[in-house]
Amino acid sequence: MATGHRENHRENVAGRANVEDTPELLAYYDELENLDAGALWTVANKIEPWQPKSSSVPVLWRYEDLRQHVLRSVELVSPEKAGRRVIYLNNPGRREHAAAVGWLYSGLQVMHPGEVASAHAHSASALRFIMEGEGAYTIVDGHKLTLGANDFVLTPNGTWHEHGVAGDGTPCIWQDGLDIPLVNCLEANFYAVHPKMQQDVGHPIDDMSHAWGAPGLRPAGAEWSKGYSPLLKYEWGPTYEALQRYAKASAGSPYDGLLMNYVNPVTGGPVMQTIGASMQMLRPGEATRAHRHTGSVIYQVAKGSGHSIIDGKRFDWKERDIFCVPSWTWHEHANASASEDACLFAFNDLPVMHALGLYREEAFGDNEGRQPLSS
Ligand SMILES: [Fe+2]
Ligand SMILES: [Fe+2]
């Protein structure tokens, strides 16, 4: 622990730094500091923990608590002035980064019928998961996508994109998920507003879904070499059907139930280079065993109700609630219903963990894989 006015993270363990302060050493540290340098042994145990130590805390954001505040923002600011009218989720441990968990951002965006947000592009990769309303659309590089509840949409890194709601639609709310904190951490974030504020639609509506959305089929001769999926929208109907069919074929995972990853149909890999996403089904009465892994995850309840135990704490959830699991934190999920399935949408930074060789996973071995409750 730190001693005196200067940090000194000592550990009485062979192989770890354990140097006691002396007047001579403290003077030496001052001389190094004047040279913008320092002695590694004073901070080594802090900057190289034995295992990942997330500064994020598990949080459940109840939709019934947030919804009225999200709707109120419509009266308070216009999309023109706000750029994006969004209430973001602010993890108590990550406020300086505006992160919902780890290096992931999440926010709830609302638009009224006839509203249009300005087109823009950024280095952060983005997704949206539609929570309620009819008539929402997104335009990505001239491809217009129509959106319904529980649809999952990509607005990848570098693409021009804008959102709106048709004049004959209803107020729409969706979750925005981005890797803004990660891209800022890497000091690689650019942002641009479209020179015409709005982009032209240059293709038939929903053309990418029509071309790339049939499972196991690929348009002959179609080329796609970008770092993200050409299937920009993953609709709820076929996703839920896929899980129901998967349930006939598999017992699933003891840690996740029936989990299917959204993938880039060209590569079979994640939908974007930095963000992965999945939909999982917990069958009636199913309660998974606990595990932990590197990488942060934000869940949104797409269907049903239940609870998750995260780091020993129980969080009860129902449809449209959002919760997070910080990196290397024990977690397990349970469906509350004995007759209905429950579905959890999730997005994560696992593609980053895998790409950098940092993915690690561990099962909770004791108590038949169930965590004792701490509260
Ligand atoms: Fe954006
Ligand atoms: Fe997990």
Mean pLDDT of 35-59: 97
pLDDT reported for residue 299: 98
Residue 358 has pLDDT above 90, yes or no: yes
- Residue 8: pLDDT band with limits 50, 70, 90: very high
Residue 132 alpha carbon to ligand 2 centre in Å:
26
Summarised one tens digit per residue, pLDDT across range 19-43 is: 999 999 999 999 999 999 999 999 9
Summarised one tens digit per residue, pLDDT across range 224-270 is: 999 999 999 999 999 999 999 999 999 999 999 999 999 999 999 99
Question: Can you give the pTM of this predicted structure?
Answer: 0.96
- Residue 6: pLDDT band with limits 50, 70, 90: confident
Could you give the residue ranges of the DSSP H alpha helices within the chain?
A: 23-34, 44-47, 63-76, 79-82, 180-185, 207-212, 236-249, 350-355
Take residue 173 and report the two structure tokens written for it.
């709310």
Residue 190 alpha carbon to ligand 1 centre in Å:
11
Residue 106 alpha carbon to ligand 1 centre in Å:
12
pLDDT reported for residue 80: 81
Residue 328 alpha carbon to ligand 2 centre in Å:
9
> Roughly how many angstroms between the first and final C-alpha of the chain, as a whole number?
28
Which of the ligands is closest to the CA of residue 293? 2
Residue 4 has pLDDT above 60, yes or no: no
Nearest to 180 by CA among 66, 296, 82, 100: 100
pLDDT reported for residue 375: 64
Looking at the chain, the whole-number percentage of residues with pLDDT higher than 70 is 99
What are the CA-CA distances from residue 290 to residues 79, 293, 345 (Å)?
42, 10, 18
- Residue 222: pLDDT band with limits 50, 70, 90: very high
Nearest to 296 by CA among 47, 128, 95, 58: 58
pLDDT reported for residue 2: 43
- Residue 1: pLDDT band with limits 50, 70, 90: very low
Q: How high does pLDDT run on average in the chain?
A: 96
CA 242-243-244 angle, to 5 degrees, is 90
Residue 71 alpha carbon to ligand 2 centre in Å:
32
Looking at the chain, the whole-number percentage of residues with pLDDT higher than 90 is 96
- By DSSP bridging, strand 120-122 and strand 258-261 are unpaired
Summarised one tens digit per residue, pLDDT across range 163-215 is: 999 999 999 999 999 999 999 999 999 999 999 999 999 999 999 999 999 99
Residue 42 alpha carbon to ligand 2 centre in Å:
35
Which of the ligands is closest to the CA of residue 127? 1
Q: Are 124 and 349 in contact (CB under 8 A)?
A: no
Mean pLDDT of 154-158: 98
- By DSSP bridging, strand 126-132 and strand 86-88 are unpaired
Mean pLDDT of 90-104: 98
- Sign of the Cα torsion 193, 197, 201, 207 reads positive
pLDDT reported for residue 83: 83
- Return the half-sphere exposure (C-beta side, CA atoms, 13 A cut-off) of residue 317: 30
Residue 3 has pLDDT above 60, yes or no: no
Residue 209 alpha carbon to ligand 1 centre in Å:
21
Which H or E element spans position 120? strand 120-122
Residue 266 alpha carbon to ligand 2 centre in Å:
25
Q: Residue 77 CB: number of other CB atoms within 10 A?
A: 11
Residue 243 alpha carbon to ligand 1 centre in Å:
30
CA 215-267-213 angle, to 5 degrees, is 25
Residue 221 alpha carbon to ligand 1 centre in Å:
31
**Can you name the residues that pair with 129 across neighbouring β-strands?**
152, 175
